Amino acid sequence: MMALRLARAATGKDRIIKFEHHFHGWHDYAAGEWTEGGTAALGVPSQTLSNVVIIPQNDLALVERTIEQESGIAAIILEPTGYHWGGGPTAVEFLRGLRELTRRTGVVLIFDEVITGFRASPGGAQARFGITPDLTTMAKIVAGGLPGGAVAGRADLLAMIDSDPLLSRSNKRRVAHPGTFNANPLSAAAAVACLELVGTGDPHRAADAAAVRLVDGMNAAFKATGVAGRAYGLASMVHFLIGQECPPGGFEWPDPYKAPPNTDPGVAIAFKQAALNEGVEFMGEGAMVSSAHTDQDIEDTANAFEKALAALKADGIV
């Protein structure tokens, strides 16, 4: 919310572009599209929704046309690894194109690194891909497990929330950010301690290696059970889909321009229950691996995955 506010304050424009299925929290500007039967935008004022333009990812020409045709675009916000924290991956050329396009058109580029910050690499997706946005939003890992979030980015944008009281009184472009937990010292202390660990890269090496083992184990389970589907991932973020033919490939999804097919919702619910019966709760059709997971945890999870697939097959669900 703060990043969007800064972008609107800096540009004097109201509207933002976001991408289909990208999640940026539940506040009004990010709540998402109105869909038949969907609830994401229920209760959001229609004036607010009219200031959010939602288009598919990976189509740079469409973004360019949208900026030209829709007046008053202040910012573009996205999950840099793609929707559902990379379940539907973005193409790196698309990100590069967005960087060049936003620079040229004066639109503020915001990477939502709430999940990918410190997972995609110690410097987030932006360090992994070598693309620096104007603003970055962070939460989760950034506060070391305590509630907290942060916005980082261009000095001229962050100057609008400068906390120097003398400066801020005279600064007509100051953006206010009062709140119960804003600048909470406990979360800030946890953040500093956590980021020192993150900076070593050690947790990533362990977690990323565990994710590769998990994805291999899951793909072996598809093979062993004869169920169609595929597991894939990026860094320590793992995704899978069940009951659909998929292109073969390595750890990462092979072609971001060919989005992974969706698991049928009925199959997804049945799988969730079957996996719970085996003692594992997956996060939708995905999993996050951490440096605390042991080889045994990974093996147990892959075994539970295989048993759950076998149960779906035995019940004729896939």
Ligand X SMILES: Cc1ncc(COP(=O)(O)O)c(C=O)c1O
Question: Least separation, in Å, of the C-beta of 161 and ligand X?
Answer: 17
Instruction: Work out the end-to-end distance of the chain between its first and last CA atoms, rounded to an integer number of angstroms.
Output: 41
CB 44 within 8 A of CB 150: no
CA pair distance 2, 8, nearest whole angstrom: 10
Q: Of 42 and 61, which CB lies nearer to ligand X in the complex structure? A: 42
Q: Of 24 and 293, which CB lies nearer to ligand X in the complex structure? A: 24
CA pair distance 95, 80, nearest whole angstrom: 7
Q: Of 109 and 227, which CB lies nearer to ligand X in the complex structure? A: 109
Q: Give the footprint of ligand X on this chain (CB under 6 A).
A: 23-25, 79, 112, 114-115, 139, 149
Question: Least separation, in Å, of the C-beta of 121 and ligand X?
Answer: 16
Q: Of 15 and 24, which CB lies nearer to ligand X in the complex structure? A: 24
Q: Of 124 and 229, which CB lies nearer to ligand X in the complex structure? A: 124
CB 120 within 8 A of CB 58: no
Q: Which two tokens stand for residue 81?
A: 């690894």
Strands 150-153 and 135-138: antiparallel
Question: Least separation, in Å, of the C-beta of 149 and ligand X?
Answer: 5
| Partners of 54 in the β-ladder | 18
Residue nearest to ligand X (CB): 25
Question: Least separation, in Å, of the C-beta of 141 and ligand X?
Answer: 11
Please give the order of strands across the beta sheet that includes 286-288.
229-234, 237-242, 286-288
Indicate the residue type of 195: L
Question: Least separation, in Å, of the C-beta of 137 and ligand X?
Answer: 7
